[in-house]
A and B are shown apart, each in its own frame.
Chain A
Amino acid sequence: MTEIIQKVKNLSIGFKSKKGEEILILRNISTNIKKGETVGIVGESGSGKSTLALAMMGYVKHGLYTIGGECEFNSSNLLKMKNRDLEKIRGRKIAMIPQNAGQALTPNLKIGYQIDEALQLHSDLKEEEREQKISELLNKVRLPSPETIALRYPHELSGGQQQRVAVAMALAGTPDLLLLDEPTTGLDVTTQAHVLELLNFIAKDTGTSMVYVSHDLGAIAQVSDRIIVMYSGEIVLEGPSRDILKKPIHPYTYGLLKSIPKLSLAGLPQSMPGSQPQPGTMHRGCSFFDRCDFSEEKCKNNSPQLEYLEELNTSVRCFNYKSLMNDSQVNQTVNKIKTSLQDKEILNLSEVSISYAKQKLLDQVLNRISDDNPTVKDININIKKGETIALVGESGSGKSTILKSIAGLLRTKGGIIKFDQNRNLSSDLKERNPNDLRIIQLIFQNPDESLNPNHTVEEIIAQPLKLYFGLKGEELKKNIIDLLQKVRLGEFYMSRYPRQLSGGEKQRVAVARAFAAKPDIILCDEVTSALDVSVQAAVLNLLQQLKEDFGTTYIFVSHDLAVVRAISDRVAVLYQGRLCEVGPSKDVYQFPSHPYTEVLLGAVLEPDPDIKPKLVAEDIVEEKPPQKGCSFQGRCSRILGDICKNEVPPWQITNSGNSIRCHIPLKELQKDQVN
């Protein structure tokens, strides 16, 4: 048996409410972290996973306190230790890698200095040894030319590089246990895949135990040996990662896996009803009872205990796990999307280019935009009525920029945006008439920001109704109730404020507001990125249902290729503000494809330990699109030579109607991609 390095015993953490009730964030958690293993803690927001990880460092957030239990590390209870003793352990024995490395690094200190600081604190090396150790660490996290990186400031590095520096700093004290709190959540898909691969390498290389906290089962699947699934402060399932992902025996995990869209399956995954109970609202019975498909009468009043199953080496908190044990695989059923595509063209972008460059005085006076290398260039897309077209790319690819111009929030440098074949839409709001404004509505990424916190749901939805249709009194109210019903919210939500709603409910209100204008086109800007997985599926299903009812056209921006696959009819892949590939979604996801699409597809993380991401290109970040030639030349692994650097590649059309912009002939492209 391997050595146990951290033992969590009956840990409960909570806070006192205003009324003096004890409200538990963590309830009776017991688990062991063995030497050299990577444990993934997965759960939705509010499940207590971060609180548990912090407790493993002996840290309890301000406002919370330990109610019972202990976190034992080297046979001493961290939660009872004095700060001075904890300082000797933190960084040296247990290190933490935060979610946002950009915020965790001090902005005005050089990278080398910050690592040196960590070394001074957490190791006994002498000055000359430290210098060598710094480059050694930077080398280990695979940063190119460590000497120059050490002299840079954090803002001079990309997000992925900052995260690597954070890993290097955590490794400075050669810790026995590494805690990672959502370390890849803010990163681009390709960067994420690279960082995960690095973490895997480090785990093997150094033999460090890792605790990896994430909401993303895809990321967890890639790194962990063992998975702990948390739900409203309890462990509901714990076991070897392969078994849990392939054969989940707890209804929550089962539902969660079913609600994740997959690359291999077109169509919308099933959603899980309801949402996680808030702390303090649990009464009796199983906390998952309300949402469970397998629940029985006894689940309502009796809470199940965590039961250890010898033969599976798994612990499960459910009365009915046996019925799931027979159900061998997660059979994902998807609701096939019906295309309501019509031949009529509704929006046409031709030769659209957009520039963020600061304009010179002369240009300002003449009210024109001049920039020979604009951020977005050569965008030609026809969008048909009733279509869902997705714009896909990493951050900085210009997808949101294009949306803004369509919405009239950002002036274009050139090109024409045409609505309904003959109406020109100006990219300046002031030049659009109210009807032009009504036909295009936006739904934003983060409903916390897109709903005014001081307005009730009623006031929020009333705004477009009043503005465009001049509704008043009873009629207004009737319309609001109608819209709320369409997004599956009850009438009583009218008097609620956004802060009283869950993330999914807020996004539904935002959807209702967009539909209140009776628009022809809805622009969806990463509408599901801020939501939990189980809620994401529900919102996607709702959007699809509404589209079928109203015949709306969606322009859907997302970085998540699996979500795009689930909902869209057509996909446009963007890199550095230039189109790379446009085609029906089933073809874009097949080969041949543009080398950039190949990179993106390879980096998608599936919640399956057997599907490893393929790392095709380096995860370098380019700040500006190249002056001439192909936009992807800087990162392309299949670059042909000067032709790619000097000439803009031609559009090549495959048999299925997929357009690819590349110099490499289609047959050649396909050759290496078929796997």
Chain B
Amino acid sequence: MKLDNIYQEEKKSNFAKVSEIIITMASRPSGFIGLSILIFHVILAFISPYIAPYDFKAINPTLMLQAPSAEYWFGTDDLGRDVFTRTILGGRTALTVTFFGSLIALLWGGLLGIFCGLVGGKTDDIVMRIVDAFLSIPWILAMLLIVSLLGTSTEVLIPALGFFYGKGIVRVARAATHDVIAKDFIVSARARGHSNFSIIWNEIIPNVRDAILVEGAMRWSWMLLGFSSLSFLGFGVSPPTPDWGLMISNARGLMSFAYWSVIAPIVGLSSLIIGINLTADAFAKALGIDRSTKAPV
């Protein structure tokens, strides 16, 4: 045999693969912007308790609704709290809850979807009809019900959000599995007598992983919006915890004369969502999945 094959690409370590994907993502302007925004928010969430200039719950009636100044960069709100402090702290809960929420969504949605795609037949039919039934329930109503029954602690919010945002992933994972399942290497593994678990783990997951991860990243930004909506409606985190949704809700009546108290959390929330969206798109492109031609199911 000839040894001078042109392909000298050797097996790479996982670290090398991940760093290559990140470099590819950052090489596009949109990916670079998205990644920068996301990283900025994540770092901010970690360090904000140490750099916050004031106490976020310190109420001072004498400082009510002050305009931005050198002392209070983003002004103060109707209770005299520093808006800058509350804004940089306001993403912490949202980011943590939705990050773990989307991990849960990814896990159960992805695995159930793959399982249904592989098994097919009646099991698939029944499970998918149940998923469809859940898809038809307006999620916000269901969330309100759960939150009012079980409270608004993060222990409730994370699994509840994870459950409701995982339904869509089930469909994507199932569709991706269907693409793979007809290939001969699955038939070959079946004919050899591998167990379903082994087929899912070794043959299917490496081939559908990318599609599911991208879908999960998109779900993350949607979940962030959903979580903030809950807070906005008063069903997310409870006061006085700083949270963008809550801040927007509190300050929206004052918008006409104290715009600063509402603009700061809005910029925080929308920049994070845009950051995640751009990152997810760049991630998909770096993996070779074109979201413009392949819409999520």
Interface residues of A (CB under 8 A from B): 273-275, 277-278, 280-281, 290, 407-409, 429, 432, 434, 437-438, 440-442, 444-446, 449-456, 463-464, 467-468, 488-490, 492, 495-497, 500-501, 513, 517
Contact = CB atoms under 8 A, between A and B. Distances in A.
B6 A463 contact: no
A464 B184 contact: no
A517 B192 contact: yes
Contact of B6 (A281, A490, A517): A281
Given A449-B183, A449-B185, A452-B185, A500 B9 contact: yes
Nearest to B193: A437
A467 B1 contact: no
A427 to B, nearest CB: 12
Nearest to B194: A467
B185 A490 contact: no
Interface stretch (B110-118, B199-207, B226-234, B271-279): B199-207
Interface string B10-26: 11000000000000000
Interface residues of B, number: 24
Chain A binding surface SS class: loop
A442 B206 contact: no
Given A281-B6, A495-B10, A429 B1 contact: no
Contacts of A277: 6
A441 B188 CA distance: 8
B263 interface: no
B10 A451 contact: no
B286 to A, nearest CB: 14
B189 interface: yes
Contacts of B3: 490, 492
Contact of A429 (B7, B185, B191, B202): B191
Given A278-B6, A446-B184, A451-B185, A490 B1 contact: yes
22 contacts: A274-B1, A274-B2, A280-B6, A409-B191, A434-B193, A437-B193, A444-B187, A444-B188, A449-B184, A450-B184, A450-B185, A451-B185, A455-B202, A463-B189, A463-B192, A463-B194, A490-B1, A490-B3, A492-B3, A497-B11, A500-B5, A513-B188
Contacts of A454: 206-207
A269 to B, nearest CB: 19
A437 B206 CA distance: 25
Contacts of A445: 184
Given A446-B184, A455-B206, A409 B11 contact: no
Contacts of B1: 274, 488-490
Given A275-B2, A453-B207, A496-B11, 9 more contacts: A274-B2, A429-B190, A441-B191, A442-B187, A442-B191, A450-B184, A454-B206, A490-B3, A497-B11
B11, B190, B193, B207: residue with the most chain A Cβ atoms closer than 10 Å: B193
Contacts of A442: 187-188, 191
B6 A456 contact: no
Contacts of B192: 437-438, 441, 463-464, 467-468, 517
A91 B2 CA distance: 45
B212 to A, nearest CB: 14
Contacts of A446: 184
A449 B11 CA distance: 20
B246 to A, nearest CB: 44
Interface of B: 1-3, 5-7, 9-11, 183-185, 187-194, 202-203, 206-207
Closest 9 CB pairs of A and B: A454-B206, A437-B193, A450-B184, A500-B7, A495-B11, A444-B184, A449-B184, A281-B6, A452-B185
B46 to A, nearest CB: 34
Contacts of B6: 277-278, 280-281
A486 to B, nearest CB: 13
A429 B184 contact: no
Contacts of A452: 185, 202-203, 206-207
A565 to B, nearest CB: 26
Nearest to B205: A454
B159 to A, nearest CB: 31
A437 B189 CA distance: 11
A455 B199 CA distance: 13
B193 A456 contact: no
A675 B137 CA distance: 76
B187, B190, B191, B202: residue with the most chain A Cβ atoms closer than 10 Å: B191
A429 to B, nearest CB: 6
B193 A450 contact: no
B5 to A, nearest CB: 7
Contacts of B190: 409, 429
A270 B196 CA distance: 43
Contacts of B206: 452, 454-455
Contacts of A488: 1
A495 B2 CA distance: 17
